[in-house]
Homo-oligomer: A and B are copies of this chain.
Amino acid sequence: MAEAQNRITQADIAPTIISIDAMGGDSGVKAVIEGMQKSALINPDIRYIVHGDAAEINHCLNLKPELAAITDVNPTEDVISMDDKPSAALRAGKKSSMWAAIAALKNNEAKATVSCGNTGALMAMSTIQLRKAPGVARPAIAVLWPSTNPQGYNVLLDAGADIKADAQDLLKYAIMGASYARNGLGLRQPRVGLLNVGTEEFKGHAELHDAAKLIDTVATSSDFQFVGFVEGSDISSSGVDIIVTDGFTGNIALKTGEGTARQVSDLIKAAFTRSLRTRLSALFVFASLRKVKDRIDPRKVNGGVFLGLNGTVVKSHGGADATGISAAIKLAFSLAQNDFSEKLTARVASGLAASKDVLSNIDEGST
């Protein structure tokens, strides 16, 4: 007991090391280093190990001695590009900054990894190195979605780690999503919804009905509330915190939402630049519109989290600038400090135990 208390105190004062892949983002190494600096200014307990082209990294760090003092540089040779297929990246990418950034997490040199690189390659490399958490067949990518909830965001998963998900996968997404919302968004009892179509009679594939039964069974013991089926229009609503779906549907929904938000923003911009008169009037409402833009700005919502692996990996948007990268680092830091990965594994195990009876019924039913 005394020893355990001792350990907690140690952890409280120890800095948290984040492993950063400096390469592969559209905005280059400079944006990554600037993002690291932004996060370091807010979180004095942060330390970095950064992987990539040593000349480029040191060039940026030379101008930032305070950041350099808390950063280890690990020189790597190769870079995974956005066009590399995951399988090719796995075969040929062992000397890449991405591989090394994950390896540091695997070897306990860091508590979380952040990369702006190729999502498919990052997921493939993370799965190979970190391995899936016990009981998880399909890891998922959880993304934040601007919402009318007090916390400002809802969680959607799977946003595209895998194109398929059966009822058991969806159950684990619910448990993992709830654990993420507790540790990443500070929600004590998050509300989980299962994405489905609206028409009563069509209410989705048999898989979704099985998943609803399973999720309902574990909700109470897993400290979340299950609100049942939700529709596409509910993703941004205040009636739910976590939206569970398969990676195909989730990816389509995510990109449809992004596309629509961009479309509306473009229309507003066009409306205001139409004439001198509208340009002048835009000056009067600039601040108000800026607030709207901030609320739906993907840079400020940046950070897809890989759930279901033995370790916390945060995927920053490929096009993220320093502000976006800093948001992703902040998320990784907060999850690392909460020992999120360990808590998630425990939650999945207890959830599977709680759903054992329903699971065996479903298995019998499907054979």
For A267, the chain B residues whose CB sits under 8 A away are 291-292, 295-296
For residue A13, CB closer than 8 A to chain B, the reply is: no
A323 contacts the other chain (CB 8 A): no
Q: Which residues of B contact A272 (CB under 8 A)?
A: 285, 288
* CB–CB B233/A259 < 8 A: yes
| Interchain CB contact under 8 A, A160 and B199 | yes
Q: Which of B205, B249, B262, B271 contacts A252 (CB 8 A)?
A: B249
Q: Most chain-B Cβ atoms within 10 A of its Cβ — which of A197, A261, A278, A295?
A: A197
A274 to B292, CA, bound (A): 12
Q: Decide if B268 touches A289 in the complex (CB within 8 Å).
A: yes
**A78 shortest CB reach to chain B, Å:** 19
* B284 and A251 within 8 A (CB): no
Question: By the criterion CB–CB under 8 Å, are B197 and A251 in contact?
Answer: yes
Binary per-residue interface labels of chain A (246-264) against chain B in the complex, 1 for a CB within 8 Å, 0 otherwise: 0111011111111111111
Residue of B nearest to A230 (CB): B255
From B160, B258, B292, A202 is in contact (CB under 8 Å) with: B160
Which residue of chain B lies nearest to A289 when distances are taken between CB atoms in the complex?
A: B271
A265 and B86 CA atoms in complex are apart in Å by 39
Q: Which chain A residues numbered 188 to 231 have a C-beta less than 8 Å away from chain B?
A: 195, 197-202, 204-205, 231
What B residues does A201 contact at CB under 8 A? 85-87, 120
A148 within 8 Å of B (CB atoms): yes
Residue-by-residue, is A271-291 near B (CB-CB < 8 Å gives 1, otherwise 0)? Answer: 110100010111011001101
Contact of A232 among B233, B259, B288, B295 (CB under 8 A): B259
Whether, in the assembled complex, A137 has its beta carbon less than 8 Å from a beta carbon of chain B, the answer is: no
A160/B259 contact (C-beta < 8 A), A252-B249, A278-B285 known: no
Tell me, yes or no, whether A235 is within 8 Å of chain B by CB. Answer: yes
Contact of A256 among B200, B204, B235 (CB under 8 A): B235
A141 to B232, CA, bound (A): 17
**With an 8 A cutoff between CB atoms, is A163 at the interface?**
yes
Minimum distance in angstroms from A158 CB to a CB of chain B: 11
Using a CB-CB cutoff of 8 Å, which residues 53-90 of chain A contact chain B? 83, 85-87
A164 to B204, CA, bound (A): 9
Residues of B within 8 A of A255 (CB): 198, 231-233
Residue of B nearest to A124 (CB): B201
User: Does A146 reach chain B (CB closer than 8 Å)?
Assistant: yes
Q: Min CB distance, A89 to chain B, in Å?
A: 10
Shortest Cβ distance from A189 into chain B, in angstroms? 24
Among B256, B266, B278, B292, the residue within 8 A (CB) of A253 is: B256
Partner among B83, B245, B285 whose Cβ is within 8 Å of the Cβ of A285? B285
A237 within 8 A of B: yes
Q: Which of A112-163 contact B (CB under 8 A)?
A: 119-120, 146, 148, 160, 162-163
Closest-CB distance, A193 to chain B (whole angstroms): 13
11 contacts between A and B (CB under 8 A): A83-B200, A163-B197, A231-B252, A231-B255, A232-B256, A237-B259, A252-B252, A264-B264, A267-B296, A271-B289, A278-B285
18 further A-B contacts with Cβ under 8 Å, apart from A85-B201, A252-B253, A257-B257, are A86-B199, A87-B201, A120-B200, A120-B201, A162-B202, A163-B205, A197-B248, A232-B251, A232-B255, A232-B259, A233-B259, A235-B259, A236-B263, A245-B252, A256-B257, A261-B264, A267-B292, A281-B288
Please list the 7 inter-chain residue pairs (A to B) with the smallest Cβ-Cβ separation, ordered nearest first: A232-B255, A233-B259, A281-B284, A232-B256, A271-B288, A260-B260, A197-B251
